Amino acid sequence: MAFIDLGKKEIQAKIVYYGPGRGGKTTNLLLVHESMSKQVCGKMVTIDTKGDRTLFFDFLPLSLGKILNLSIRIQLYTVPGQVMYNTTRKLVLRGVDGVVFVSDSLRIQRQKNIESLRNLEENLQDEGLDIHQVPLVLQYNKRDLASSNVPLLTVEEMEEDLNRDLKVPTFEASAVKGVGVYETLREISKLTVKGVIQKVRGEVR
């Protein structure tokens, strides 16, 4: 749920990057953070766990304008992908306003993609949220490996596995090359802010 900070005249909206371990969540956030002006972007906070990391930073997207004369500050988080860190994932999801699900195009990761999406749905339910109602974007990462000899899932297979029922926006991406990263962020920011506007106006009434 978006948080209104009247002292700063800001609405803080939370977007979480979710997905299987080593899928590209961290790479997405690092690229976005490095490319942003430090005038609008906060400091990156990193929480290290064994073999995985949770990242956080916030930024003020000036292009999104204001809601009821309040600026919109977007907080970006990643969650650890490994199953053993589910408690951490639940904590990070608390108060979420939008989700990017970063899936791994490697064929050997097919089942982990499916399990991670199911885990997202379950953890959202624990927060009283429906995955079909939360602003959500799917990113099909590591598409740059198509030219290599590594077996990849086709986009059609990933659509069938992950988006058959959800029918949400999807982006092919290569986080290491910066392809599809900003398009993903732009879309989830737009959907999230739209949802926040509806919530805030509903509360004001």
- The H-assigned helical ranges of the chain are 25-35, 86-93, 110-126, 155-158, 181-204
The torsion region of residue 68 among left (phi > 0), alpha (psi -120 to 50) and beta comes to: left
As a whole number of angstroms, the distance between CA 11 and CA 5 comes to 6
- Position 8 scores a pLDDT of 86
Q: What is the CATH number of the domain that holds 102?
A: 3.40.50.300
Residue ranges in the chain modelled with pLDDT below 70: 1, 49-51, 62-63, 202-205
- Position 51 scores a pLDDT of 62
SS3 state of residue 109: helix
- Position 204 scores a pLDDT of 52
As a whole number of angstroms, the distance between CA 194 and CA 188 comes to 10
In a domain, 205, yes or no: no
- Position 202 scores a pLDDT of 67
In a domain, 111, yes or no: yes
- Position 179 scores a pLDDT of 97
Domain count, the chain: 1
In a domain, 101, yes or no: yes
- Position 182 scores a pLDDT of 96
Tokens in use for 14? 């939370």
- Position 61 scores a pLDDT of 85
Which residues constitute the domain of residue 35? 3-200
Nearest C-alpha neighbor of 189 from the set 26, 103, 75: 75
Sign of CA dihedral 185, 187, 188, 193: positive
